[in-house]
Structure 1
Amino acid sequence: MKKNVIYSFIIAIASFAFMACSNDDDGNQMRIPDSAKPSAKFTFGNFENEQYANDAVKMDVTNWNNGSTAPEFKSIELFADGHFLITKANAGNKPKFSRMATRATDINGSVDFDNGLYIYGTFTHEKDGVYKLSNGTKIKINKNGDVVGVVTVTYTNCNGVDITIIVNVDFNYKTDEAVRQLCRSWRMDSQEAWLYTDKAYIGYGKQWLDNFFKVKQDITITPEGKQWGFDEDDILDDDDYCRRVIFSPCGTFMCFYQDGDVEIGRWEWRDKQNGILRCYEPFEFGDDDLDDDDDYMDMTVRFDGKRMLMYNEYMDEENDINYKVYSVSTFSARY
């Protein structure tokens, strides 16, 4: 079973592997490890708001300078941890779940992803509604109180030119406690995975970061797994370690992989009462069959103090062999 079959974009972001289950009454059904099972009840943790939680907003451009000039971007989002993400007008025309490996950093630390289709950096809050971005631009949101709908924004580009743009915004999500708890910058502490076929237990793996730099791992392959040719990369791969992930209250998430790649996608609460989270590819979702596992991934979220745990099980079949993997990823609320 090849690595690129086991792992894909969403799997790497929360350490989820493809798996397939036989029926519950199958005599070969293996016992699920207790540590791979989420608690029955979804409860909230103990988190303080991040520094810019009240500034977090996504602005989708509907009109750029009355159409007199070409738009420089189609959306800009401010994250609660003090970072921004600009999405250019031609971003999104890419294969599903492609990772962005091409990156360039300017002198102020702003980063281009995917040859400049996305720009990521930091912002400072100068005064109410006015933000200076690390790429040399400025945003002034002209609003009165919390609103939903159309807002006028003054955008000052890197050449110092003021441009009036019209955007769609929604400021009313901030009162939702489930959103407030999830939406912050998370550091992955560890990931675990248990791999089975419908015939035998294949192996277990755990990964963690050593001083935030090197991925360390402890992987065990059973004799049956070795006999069938499984290796450590079939359980976990250090390149797919998501060292940091950001969830925004506006439905965006970003995953920063250990190998330097970046992934950008969308999320929503599939079942908020039970903590079921759905992450999906932002440009294909809704156009394809929702049963296509390349489009989305559902996972169970549990908060514990200042930690978040994500649990997943998934189904796959390859070369007439059914695979079953349980996984759990542990995150701490920190940059």
Structure 2
Amino acid sequence: MIKKSFISFLFALVAFGFTACDSDDNNGQVRVPNGAKPSKEFKIGNCDKEEYADDAVKLNVKSWGNGGIAQEFASIELFADGHFLITSTKAATMPKSKVGVTRAADGSTMFKKNGGKPLQTRATDASGTIIIDNGLYTYGTYTRVKEGVYQLSNNTKIEIKDGSLTGYTTVTYTNSLGKSITITVTIDVTNKQDDIVRHICRSWRMDSAENWLLAGDVTIGYGKQWLDNGRVMQHTTLTKEGKNMGFDKDDLVEDDEDYCYRVIFSPCGTFVCFYIDGDVEIGTWEWTDTNNGVLRCWETFDWDDDDDDDDDDDDFADMTVRFEGKQMRIYGDFMDKEDNIIFRTLSVATFSAKY
């Protein structure tokens, strides 16, 4: 979700693509800065496969043992970078987001903390296994013991009986107490591992986050953030016009602790954002236009306590993705009209393919 303090001056939210952004539009806006424009052609970069790319899978539990041991999780997902994500059974009681029913946000939304309820994390053991949001998720590392057998860092193990990984299969799960449980799972094959899916499905380190703010034909300012030896650095430029309109540098960049330094995409439609202060957010993604590189991301669960769709939070973000070599850039374009002035936020997040 969009951090409210960042764009509190915006009201009715409408997402626009970059198709018509190469020249001045009919609303009298300034030309889009060159740095905020994606290339017209969408093509794949040249990233190598991650170590566990062929093992990446999501196992959704259908039946659990013989009833003698309580079900411990709803799903296990193995990521291509050697990490896993376990979703607990309490996820079934969480309200799902109504994606596509409400409105879209700007393209940098997925890299800004949940405005209503950020997920808190804490390390639980020396291996670095993390419990997220009081047990809703467990995140850690895994190793392949042999084909179909995986040891997880939370001292559990899964053995997939059917190597074909299609439809239903049987899994032997050994919990942290050494108890072996036979479970039936469905294999998530929502996203086939074609080139475009394989290329984005990896761990990405954020190199920088940039934002341009415009009001009508006036440039308000520019802000950029990046990491230097673990410290969030920033540069802001506020125009005279922006100052006269009451803007300051806090409208151009996020708070340091809200900087998202790493993002993981999985081939089963999960993304995970890691923030510099230790918080983690987990959501869902899909390609909505693979010809033009349009990516949609949304939160899996509805964290709001009410059903008011007219609040300041937004349910999904449509973004333009471009790959070049071992880098990925995600572009956002966000508009609002207030008092006959069109406000616009342009954003670019640049990533490198590395843990």
TM-score normalised to structure 1 length: 0.87
> What is the alpha-carbon distance in structure 1 between the residues aligned to residue 274 and residue 338 of structure 2?
29
User: Structure 1 residues 248, 113: CA separation in 2 closer, same or farther (over 3 Å shift)?
Assistant: same
Q: C-alpha root-mean-square deviation of aligned residues, in Å?
A: 2.8
Q: 1:299 is matched by which residue type in structure 2?
A: M
> What is the alpha-carbon distance in structure 2 between the residues aligned to residue 215 and residue 82 of structure 1?
27
- Note if contact 1:124-1:133 (Cα within 8 Å) is conserved in structure 2: yes
DSSP 3-state at the match of 2:4? helix
Q: 2:260 is matched by which residue type in structure 1?
A: C
1:59 to partner: Cα distance: 0.6
User: Structure 1 residues 172, 54: CA separation in 2 closer, same or farther (over 3 Å shift)?
Assistant: farther
> What is the alpha-carbon distance in structure 2 between the residues aligned to residue 130 and residue 137 of structure 1?
11
Q: 2:6 is matched by which residue type in structure 1?
A: I
User: Structure 1 residues 334, 69: CA separation in 2 closer, same or farther (over 3 Å shift)?
Assistant: same
Q: 1:133 is matched by which residue type in structure 2?
A: L
User: Structure 1 residues 325, 62: CA separation in 2 closer, same or farther (over 3 Å shift)?
Assistant: same
2:31 pairs with 1:31: yes
Hey, what does 1:250 align to over in structure 2? 268
Hey, what does 2:143 align to over in structure 1? 124
- Note if contact 1:110-1:121 (Cα within 8 Å) is conserved in structure 2: yes
Hey, what does 2:212 align to over in structure 1? 194
Q: Percent identity?
A: 57
- Note if contact 2:205-2:262 (Cα within 8 Å) is conserved in structure 1: yes
> What is the alpha-carbon distance in structure 1 between the residues aligned to residue 339 and residue 72 of structure 2?
48
Hey, what does 1:56 align to over in structure 2? 56
Hey, what does 1:224 align to over in structure 2? 241
> What is the alpha-carbon distance in structure 1 between the residues aligned to residue 148 and residue 249 of structure 2?
50
Hey, what does 1:261 align to over in structure 2? 279
1:69 to partner: Cα distance: 3.4
More helix by percentage: 1
> What is the alpha-carbon distance in structure 2 between the residues aligned to residue 161 and residue 311 of structure 1?
48
User: Structure 1 residues 242, 318: CA separation in 2 closer, same or farther (over 3 Å shift)?
Assistant: farther
Hey, what does 1:215 align to over in structure 2? 232
Aligned length: 318
TM-score normalised to structure 2 length: 0.82
1:226 to partner: Cα distance: 1.3
Q: 2:286 is matched by which residue type in structure 1?
A: E
DSSP 3-state at the match of 1:6? coil
Hey, what does 2:257 align to over in structure 1? 239
2:329 pairs with 1:309: yes
DSSP 3-state at the match of 2:264? strand
1:103 to partner: Cα distance: 2.1
Q: 2:153 is matched by which residue type in structure 1?
A: S
User: Structure 1 residues 172, 3: CA separation in 2 closer, same or farther (over 3 Å shift)?
Assistant: closer
> What is the alpha-carbon distance in structure 2 between the residues aligned to residue 128 and residue 73 of structure 1?
23
User: Structure 1 stretches of 5 or more lacking a match?
Assistant: 9-17
